[in-house]
Structure 1
Amino acid sequence: MKKFGLATQIFIGLALGIIVGAVFYGNESAMSILQPMGDVFLHLIKMIVIPIVVAALIVSIAGVGDIKKLGKLGGKTILYFEIVTTIALAIGLLAANIFHPGTGIDMGNLEKGNISTYEETAKASESGSIADKFVHIIPSNIFQSLAEGDLLAIVFFSVLFGVGVAVIGEKGKPVLNFFEGVLEAMFWITNLVMKFAPFGVFALIGVNVAKFGIGSLIPLGKLVLVIYVTMFFFVFIILGAIAKFAGTNIFTLIKILKDELILAFTTASSESVLPGLMAKMEKFGCPKAVTSFVIPTGYTFNLDGSSIYQAIAAVFVAQMYGIHLSIAEQITLLLVLMLTSKGMAGVTGASFVVVLTTLSSMGLPLEGMAFIAGIDRILDMLRTSVNVIGNALATIVMSKWEGEFDKEKAERYTASIKQSDVA
């Protein structure tokens, strides 16, 4: 397999996984053999993500040095994230109203999935006020937050620690050097972990096809189609327009991120591409300080694909039960999603929990999400890929906005990609 690039290897793993899953559909023993291989890959990914996020944020913030400059970058970044995710939510609501994916569905023919775990998380979130959510961002014990993978708390601490290192000047340089070393070491480990990616993809896809079968898509095919079409529209029209305004091309960006997008799509894990995404954006001309700040922060605040899914799924459930949502109610739904989607970062099955929490706050039946649970993996694959594209573009936009984008470096890297494709 050394003759093939990572993208080709993952494609082979994907194809073999679908074939093996289809052959062993419903076979519990086959699933029990494949599942550990997929779990090993996901554990390897989760093992490297938190150290990379912490080191990258501290290096980027301490490296900037100028606190005013850092504050401006942070403010601009959060503003951009909020605008783009709100557009994504609005487009999701619009698509659900135009195509009506939930209208006319016979729920008697649908298979329910188990959502009890998600419901418990949603209820816990629902019981807390908005003030509680803000309090939760500040960790009472950073080591506990690191162990639990609480991304919002980790980002908060890392930003504050990075500011501290920057403020103490010369005394902070050994600390900065240490975290720079950690970041480089983690990137080396990432390259090692990625060699296992084709096998992880093979196992994860194989288990899902063997468990649900390709036939599970048919009853909810309209929902899958609406979500996929809406996400493609968002990427090529909305993000395409933003890319053009920023002086780049969305197709060029997708070509550069080919390996990362295939990996994100097949694993449905945005964590798996974090290191590769950061490395690619630096090669494309974005400064390390901007890349190391924007991408980890984007994993918390800038999930465009997830926003589209959440909006369509919420309206889908209402339509499925014949509940009409007025314009005022849909505006309320948009505002609720804006809040809940930001408070769920780092939670397992975050998008699913966001929709459950939103349905609960709007008085809509939670049981409707049980019908989506069976095909959620199929939806998760594309929304993860869209999240990756959105964060990559955000890095370019912020680099341009700060006047630090290296156009010549970007052109050289693009040319080298074209040459490698020809070769």
Structure 2
Amino acid sequence: MTVSASGTNSLTRWILVGLVAGLGVGWAINANVAPDQAKAIAGTLSIITDVFLRLIKMIIAPLVLATLTVGIAHMGSGSAVGRTFVRTLAWFIAASVFSLGLGILMVNLLAPGVGVGLPLPDAAAASGVANKAFNLKDFIGHIFPKSIIEAMATNEVLQIVVFSLFAGVALIHMGEKAKVINDGLDAIMHMMLVITGYVMKVAPFAVFAAIASSIAVEGLGILITFGKFVGGFYLALAMLWVFLLGAGSAVLGFGEVRRLIPEIREPFLITFATASSEAAYPKLLAAMERFGVPNRIASFVLPLGYSFNLDGSMMYCAFASIFIAQAYGIDLSLGQELAMLGLLMITSKGIAGVPRASLVVIAATLPYFNIPEAGLLLILAVDHFLDMGRSATNVIGNAVATAVIAKWDAGQAPAEAQL
């Protein structure tokens, strides 16, 4: 699907307008309305954001199934699929290790939890976040769908990816008989992208509502109270952005990365404002194709990235876990921090790119290191503002990864689009 530059720039401008207007309206509500009324107004505003996110979720499953299956079928052989998968996984693992390592390094250097100056929740208090311990059997079993219909109904992206891998390879081996299926899935893909265009007209209103409702309840003052924690995390994110774009430049060239940045600006802003990586998936797919990444690569790498390459979310899990330990005066040894890195490498895989998913991973990690789960209560007030940054970082990481894999796969600059 081709999107004109003028149309993209217009939507970007309206998203920025919605973001600024949301800040102003949210601040005005917080400053002039009683807390109970502000919460009620925020609940009403959030209806718009909820509708937008539900419309996006409506698109995700059929879009991933159609694009990934057709993309694999167009690779021409199972060995080509295998090579692309290995390259993709290698990049994801390297980016994950760096993201977690940088998060651990920065939280130790900045020590935002030392002398935090806030009343600490009782260590026995419940955080209200599920803290089910990691179970390898359940994790592996959950990857494989028992029904593709159920997987699509619940938007289990990783399960849809697994089914699409099997379906794509099967179509490769069906020869001419696969043509009618390929044509049908290709038509579905383009239909979903057209629907995406309709849904994105709601995006500026959803951005306005998301920001206004958050500021109305919490106020801007909460960012000052948690300034050291929030500022430290965003500094770490900025360093991660520099690394990801630098790594991309090493493969693609600086000029190509400079060309990539404006292409992903719109999905970045949508994700930042809504705090949902999923919200930008259709726009990111279109952006990568505009950039020149072949559809067969973009449709293969991006769905995998949404399960295995959540760089911002992984950094947050490490940063927040050690912040909580610092707040309670718990000193973790180097060995324990390395063990945490390894555990988060596993537990963070397959988490959906939806708001607050990282809190579940943190809640599952804390008990392994005798860190009070109640510490989550410390960060709940500002988690939405941090979720905005970490989700937007996931977009950058997946965009760079997709462009790099396309360069490696084609042995040429990704500016030459292939279908």
* TM-score, length of structure 2 as denominator length: 0.91
1:154 maps to 2:160: yes
8 Å CA contact retained: 1:81, 1:301: yes
Q: Which residue of 2 aligns with 1:385?
A: 392
Matched to 2:277, the amino acid is S
Cα deviation 1:186-238 (Å, max 9, x = unaligned): 00000111111000111111111111111111221111111101111111134
State which of 13, 18, 22 in structure 2 corresponds to 1:17.
22
8 Å CA contact retained: 1:109, 1:219: no
CA–CA separation in structure 2 for the residues paired with 1:285 and 1:116? 46
Q: Which residue of 2 aligns with 1:308?
A: 315
Cα deviation 1:260-285 (Å, max 9, x = unaligned): 11111111111121111111211212
> Tell me, which stretches of 5 or more residues in structure 2 are unaligned?
1-6
Compare 279-288 and 294-303 and name the one that shifted more: 279-288
Q: In structure 2, the residue corresponding to 1:159 is in which secondary structure?
A: helix
State which of 374, 378, 402 in structure 2 corresponds to 1:367.
374
1:354 maps to 2:361: yes
State which of 48, 51, 54 in structure 1 corresponds to 2:62.
51
Q: Which residue of 2 aligns with 1:414?
A: none
Q: In structure 1, the residue corresponding to 2:405 is in which secondary structure?
A: helix
8 Å CA contact retained: 1:231, 1:386: yes
Matched to 1:54, the amino acid is L
Q: Which residue of 2 aligns with 1:322?
A: 329
Q: Which residue of 2 aligns with 1:420?
A: none
Matched to 1:403, the amino acid is A
Change in 2 beyond 3 A, CA 1:404/1:189: farther
Residue 347 (structure 1) shift: 6.8
Q: Which residue of 1 aligns with 2:260?
A: 253
Change in 2 beyond 3 A, CA 1:320/1:331: same
Residue 40 (structure 1) shift: 1.1
Change in 2 beyond 3 A, CA 1:111/1:258: farther
Change in 2 beyond 3 A, CA 1:248/1:115: farther
> Tell me, which stretches of 5 or more residues in structure 1 are unaligned?
411-423
1:68 maps to 2:75: no
Residue 252 (structure 1) shift: 3.2
CA–CA separation in structure 2 for the residues paired with 1:138 and 1:408? 35
- Identity value in percent: 38
Change in 2 beyond 3 A, CA 1:37/1:200: same
Q: What aligned pairs does 1:12-411 form with structure 2 within 5 A after superposition?
A: 12-25=17-30, 26=35, 27-108=38-119, 118-119=129-130, 122-123=131-132, 126=133, 129-249=135-255, 250-345=257-352, 349-403=356-410, 405-406=412-413, 409=416
Residue 409 (structure 1) shift: 4.3
Q: In structure 1, the residue corresponding to 2:197 is in which secondary structure?
A: helix
8 Å CA contact retained: 2:22, 2:208: yes
Cα deviation 1:342-367 (Å, max 9, x = unaligned): 14336762211111111122221111
8 Å CA contact retained: 2:244, 2:397: no
Q: Which residue of 1 aligns with 2:4?
A: none
8 Å CA contact retained: 1:243, 1:393: no
8 Å CA contact retained: 1:257, 1:280: yes
CA–CA separation in structure 2 for the residues paired with 1:115 and 1:279? 43
Q: Let me know the Cα RMSD of the aligned residues.
A: 2.2
Q: In structure 1, the residue corresponding to 2:373 is in which secondary structure?
A: coil
Residue 39 (structure 1) shift: 1.2
Residue 115 (structure 1) shift: 7.6
Change in 2 beyond 3 A, CA 1:172/1:255: same
Q: Which residue of 2 aligns with 1:416?
A: none
Compare 234-243 and 191-200 and name the one that shifted more: 234-243
CA–CA separation in structure 2 for the residues paired with 1:33 and 1:129? 38
Change in 2 beyond 3 A, CA 1:141/1:115: farther
Compare 339-348 and 143-152 and name the one that shifted more: 339-348
Cα deviation 1:363-393 (Å, max 9, x = unaligned): 2111111111111111111111111111111
CA–CA separation in structure 1 for the residues paired with 2:246 and 2:323? 27
Residue 248 (structure 1) shift: 3.8
